[in-house]
Amino acid sequence: DAGITQSPRHKVTETGTPVTLRCHQTENHRYMYWYRQDPGHGLRLIHYSYGVKDTDKGEVSDGYSVSRSKTEDFLLTLESATSSQTSVYFCAISETAFNYGYTFGSGTRLTVV
């Protein structure tokens, strides 16, 4: 999607290893979000950021951490990957927190074996 890229697009990792997913935006939007998408569960918020070094937890944050040292980059780290974290991860950006929809990236498909 224009203005927001996620890397890698696909990753297979072993249980117990740390994994970092990257979201990069060129829109200079203040708000960034990480969601996971699983069949039958829609999209669930993991963590979000409302500015550089300002982050907060979402509804499914256990086992995940985030960092945002620059406006354009939002990193999601699985501290010790588990099979339950096999999912498709989407990053989203938003210009404001009010009356504004998200622009989503293309997603990272993560498989933990």
Judged by the rule CB under 8 A, the positions of this chain that interact with another protein are 1, 31, 33, 35, 40-45, 48, 50, 58, 90, 92, 94, 96-107
Closest CB to another protein among residues 16, 51 = 51
- Maximum Cα–Cα distance for the chain, whole Å? 40
CB of 28 to another protein, least distance (A): 16
**Do 86 and 112 form a contact (C-beta atoms < 8 A)?**
yes
Closest CB to another protein among residues 78, 92 = 92
CB of 56 to another protein, least distance (A): 9
CB of 91 to another protein, least distance (A): 8
